[in-house]
Structure 1
């Protein structure tokens, strides 16, 4: 299978390699280099051809962003909401060939679709030509500021992940370049998706709420959170599988546990700060447990809280999709006292904030929360983010 970086531009590839060094896999390196250089004239031609066709950012309906740490249910929510047919989204072809979305991607679409994996590498969620994707792989093909470059080039893992998630060490010009490339991608997606309002899911943006509000003042946000114990053990699998599949350099030195805990804490601290003054019709929180147990009710509440239209008309489509995935088998991971102790030591304030407990143990209400009449403490936890 082709490496995702086959869809990059030469400048992005060179900028990352200046920091991390060249790939250590000659075959993959040759394939990436050939694809990047062979596509470059066509990518350039596409950018020139689209210069007068793309809408300006302020002419587009402001996107709705789904936020949440990886493995917190963002994909499940994205898959449900896109089934309405009213949203523009990120199709698989846009992640691999963001520079070539209207040219080479259309020419080679049948081949690209046949090359799609049957399911995602990190879990059993099916992948089809119409499956909505997070845009971070596309961003990694357009900008040197993406956490995926830490996975691709793990020799500089810590540096690239921090730069890609929090812009640590990035000069002002690098951040501005990321913003320009990101907005350009949104403009292309808006045209590609027929002018529909974009629904964008990317865990990276959980720590960038303030920046996204600055770029899209009328944007709306949905934050979904899940028990940090579950997130932690699932993220171990996430990193191990992605590194094994996509790393172009050795990665035995990578501290996966430390990365998970550090990133989670920084993301959630940033989100808490950035969301303090959010209007009630621009930002909504929900628990993955609520979405999992009562998906239709959870999605309806999102539509109501954010003032989104079309839930009633889309309800049959949501119901049909949910029926089709009812037998979906989730990944299951073993818990250990060692893993739980790490979570409690580093993420205890989030356990308290949302009222989470070790899996299998009774849950307390989130901080400052009281059960509703006729509701137990354990069941009340499912209402914490929707209040």
Structure 2
């Protein structure tokens, strides 16, 4: 079905949209590239531009303030959590962030990546009241101190991010390939991404001194080699999950985020092919990149193993990557696990046609991680609670 034959969904941007924290240059470039936008979106466009203009002097002050305080700063190489979307990266991130030795990205830094050190301190009470109770895509609580991934923040600082495809979904596939694989990106754009990620991380090191930065971002599944260029001593934790669950959950992820973030009319008819085609490329890129790392720089775990034996799994991660003793961290992790209580994950149906496509298109990775290649025989994790039907 072509785009013009498909019923388009109408965007309804909110003031909580991530682009409200973007700089004027990123906004002008993106709005100019994707014009014309629907008439009812134009007031939102005007508000984002006005917000960026008002913040520009504060952003410049923060840049100078940061430069003066980090000129001779030595920042430990980060620990990166990678894995395809909906593979358990957030759960692992929440567990590891209980370690007080780690620094991580806060909701405030996500919403105000240019200004969270200075202006953000003043606006913090107001911004915290505006936080949603749960994430858009599931029932994971959003607290003022909850760790966040850095991709939304970086999308507000430059243009190489797949989130721009969610903001402007009429070119979702194009933005995905640029934002994840750097396809078609110029040397200048890649240098800009490197400059902004360094700047964003330096500010976190400044605000949380003496701590090692812990970052979770599914995009980095396909960008291990690039990150090693920036931080040669970086560590990587890859978490994988039953691919039949990943497909259904990722489809849900895109539908939810497009509903919340799109600034253009969009349809969902291309989502399945986007997921089916990009998953193998991301996974193969990860396998190839990790193969070049020292054994002590990367570790791989399964989501089901983490859920069934969280403490033992985390202890193994600490030992494999040389992160120090897990013993002193264990009480913090146990307290967090107790807080989860009766949390219920999203439930999905598993139509035979979907199962067959996943089995055919992702077979080599299903076999690589030891999952059943026949969906009728694949016992899934507790999210599904049974056999794929």
Query: Shared topology, TM-score over 0.5?
Result: yes
Contact residue 3 and residue 28 of structure 1 kept, 8 A: no
Residue 138 of structure 1 aligns to a residue in which SS? helix
Q: TM-score, normalised by structure 1?
A: 0.90
Q: Indicate the residue corresponding to 2:25 in structure 1.
A: 11
Listed one character per residue, the Cα deviations across residues 346-380 of structure 1 (whole Å, up to 9, x for unaligned) are 1111111112137975459xxxxxxxxxxxxx99x
How far apart are 1:273 and its partner, in Å? 0.8
Which residue number in structure 2 is paired with residue 65 of structure 1?
Answer: 80
Q: Compared with structure 1, are the counterparts of its residues 74 and 359 closer, same or farther at alpha carbon in structure 2 (3 Å cutoff)?
A: farther
Q: Secondary structure at the match of 2:44?
A: helix
The residue aligned with 1:370 is: none
With over 3 angstroms needed to count, the CA separation of the structure-2 counterparts of 1:317 and 1:219, relative to structure 1, is same
CA deviation map 1:176-230 (0-9, x unaligned):
1111111111101111122310000000000001111111000110000001110
Indicate the residue corresponding to 2:5 in structure 1.
none
> How far apart, in 1, do the equivalents of 2:78 and 2:215 lie?
7
Moved more, 285-294 or 320-329: 320-329
SS at structure 2 position matched to 1:312: coil
Give the counterpart of 1:87 among 80, 91, 102.
Answer: 102
Q: Is the 8 A contact 1:224 1:287 kept in 2?
A: yes
Aligned residues: 365
Find the aligned partners of 2:90 and 2:118 in 1 and give their Cα distance: 28
Deviations 1:279-331 (A, max 9, x none): 11110000000001111111110001111113101111111111111421111
| Structure 2 contact 244–355 (Cα < 8 Å) conserved | yes
Distance 2:170 2:269 in 1: 9
- Aligned to 2:103, the other structure's residue is in SS state coil
More deviation in 35-44 or 290-299?
35-44
Say whether the 8 Å CA contact 1:229–1:358 is kept in structure 2: no
Corresponding position of 1:263: 278
The RMSD of aligned alpha carbons is 1.8
User: What stretches of structure 1 move > 3 A for 4+ residues in a row?
Assistant: 358-364
1:254: Cα distance to partner? 5.5
2 CA distance for matches of 1:363 and 1:161? Answer: 30
Q: CA deviation at 1:161?
A: 1.5
| Alignment partners' CA distance in 2, 1:189 and 1:69 | 25
Matched, 1:118 2:133: yes
The yes-or-no answer on 1:47 pairing with 2:63 is yes
Corresponding residue for 1:347?
362
> Partners in 2 of 1:157 and 1:100 — Cα distance?
28
| 1:27–1:35 Cα change, 3 Å | same
SS of the equivalent of 1:98 reads coil
Superposition map of 1:1-387 within 5 A = 1-24=15-38, 25-54=41-70, 59-252=74-267, 255-357=270-372, 361-362=376-377
Give 5+ residue unaligned stretches, structure 1.
365-377, 380-387
- CA separation in 2, counterparts of 1:7 and 1:195? 27
